[in-house]
Structure 1
């Protein structure tokens, strides 16, 4: 019999905040966690959901700012996705990340929560030069696989999901997922927890040539990569003025 959950807290960065998937009913982003919570509420009436994720956060800051507030809300389900922003930076060291990830998941499990972990999807086919740092993501993903196995956490393996080879699942900045991409993640999470996904997510994309990019590599670098590099050099983050969109467990309206 599948487990039943009543309270879900999502922890992480832009992936979990939902960047790339504008909320059709508000001025923030929606994303896979919101989508999954909606399906979970259909399966488990009274289901509550909080989302503490903030874009641009590095692994250590996610842990320091979000783990304890999550535990204090006594959820029985927590998602933890962190480290991709670290892997994009020079000098990335997966060893301390893996060590601390073990500790984080141990704490979350000890609090009584089941934990959802992720491998990062492969963005390298869509971004010039990403092949050079692809190995960092492979190493980070391997670490999360070991953490999930050691602590009996649920692993959602996005790296092996070849649907993400389709550029239509990525937003124009090529770093964040599009609405279709977030729907795909939500579908994978639903299946991992034996929750029925929205039927519309299961419809295959038209078998057409991949759409042309809105800009070439040089244009993309000027509009999206250069601002990202500038923030890194100045010590700023895209999430500096952002607060969690759903900081407290709130019942999901069906």
Structure 2
């Protein structure tokens, strides 16, 4: 297998919001792996070490260590992270940028292709969304500048206007839904494959849910208050969660789901 792709990150990369009925979430990284197999015309190797709730230090530390320790070594790594750092009361964006730089250095030293990815922007539907947006905008600018300086591929999912529509988001307003992950996969495949990628088409997602007063009360009760409670107790949504593909699995072009291949 000539392509060995490993994804590192948090819930965005794990695929939260694109849940299967019979197993772990799917998400954009699984779809990208399927698209890479179709483009290669042969099976590829794929690992996904992302875990929901992880801070960027966890991703650029233990996750990257595990990714580079895979045998055989990866040929391609995608990095996204920092979303959970944005939600903390205090966030040092410059420190997050330095963590990303260390990943660039380590992948370069290992001879592994690195693709930097900015996460989708959830701030339009979140409490304190303006603060989250400002921090994420700053981090995205840092990562874009780093990619330009080091001649790396950078996929800017954050500024994709289509994904700003509420219809692409899960009820928690923090994670993309299945249509959102399909849209992100198309953008990322285009960034990885260039001219050989399938076109990134606008999807036709289900209508966005109503957000009246009652819906807002339900949203705070079902999603915001539990999140606050976890963080007051020092808990994370990723506690007890293991990576869904900690070692290489084979992804075949013939086994790729129809939606993954067409990737609208």
| In structure 1, C-alpha distance between the alignment counterparts of 2:58 and 2:229, rounded to whole Å | 20
CA deviations 1:220-239 (Å, max 9, x no partner) are 11111111111111111111
Q: Which residue of 2 aligns with 1:29?
A: 25
Normalised to the residue count of structure 1, the TM-score between the two structures is 0.90
Matched, 1:96 2:92: no
| In structure 2, C-alpha distance between the alignment counterparts of 1:54 and 1:209, rounded to whole Å | 29
Task: Report runs of 4+ in structure 1 exceeding 6 Å deviation.
Answer: none
Distance 1:91 1:169, change over 3 A: same
* Equivalent pair of 1:128/1:217 in contact (CA under 8 Å): no
Paired residues for 1:199-214 under 5 Å: 202=201, 204-205=203-204, 210-213=208-211
CA deviations 1:33-63 (Å, max 9, x no partner) are 0011111111111311000000000111222
| In structure 2, C-alpha distance between the alignment counterparts of 1:193 and 1:124, rounded to whole Å | 26
Paired residues for 1:51-62 under 5 Å: 51-62=48-59
Q: Which residue of 2 aligns with 1:182?
A: 181
User: What secondary structure does 2:248 align onto?
Assistant: strand
Q: Which residue of 2 aligns with 1:66?
A: 63
Q: Which residue of 1 aligns with 2:230?
A: 231
| In structure 1, C-alpha distance between the alignment counterparts of 2:204 and 2:152, rounded to whole Å | 31
| In structure 2, C-alpha distance between the alignment counterparts of 1:66 and 1:112, rounded to whole Å | 18
Matched, 1:38 2:34: yes
Distance 1:86 1:150, change over 3 A: same
* Equivalent pair of 2:16/2:175 in contact (CA under 8 Å): yes
| In structure 2, C-alpha distance between the alignment counterparts of 1:133 and 1:88, rounded to whole Å | 7
Shift of 1:209: 6.5
Distance 1:5 1:230, change over 3 A: farther
* Equivalent pair of 1:106/1:151 in contact (CA under 8 Å): no
CA deviations 1:87-112 (Å, max 9, x no partner) are 11111011111112101111012211
Paired residues for 1:124-163 under 5 Å: 124-163=123-162
Shift of 1:150: 2.3
* Equivalent pair of 1:12/1:54 in contact (CA under 8 Å): yes
Q: Which structure 2 residue ranges, 5 or more long, are not aligned?
A: 256-264
User: What secondary structure does 2:34 align onto?
Assistant: helix
User: What secondary structure does 2:91 align onto?
Assistant: coil
| In structure 1, C-alpha distance between the alignment counterparts of 2:15 and 2:64, rounded to whole Å | 19
Q: Which residue of 1 aligns with 2:259?
A: none
Q: Which residue of 2 aligns with 1:196?
A: 197
* Equivalent pair of 1:122/1:165 in contact (CA under 8 Å): yes
User: What secondary structure does 1:116 align onto?
Assistant: strand
Q: Which structure 1 residue ranges, 5 or more long, are not aligned?
A: none
| In structure 1, C-alpha distance between the alignment counterparts of 2:106 and 2:27, rounded to whole Å | 26
Aligned Cα root-mean-square deviation (Å)? 2.1
Normalised to the residue count of structure 2, the TM-score between the two structures is 0.87
User: What secondary structure does 1:22 align onto?
Assistant: coil
Deviates more, 1:75-84 or 1:56-65: 56-65
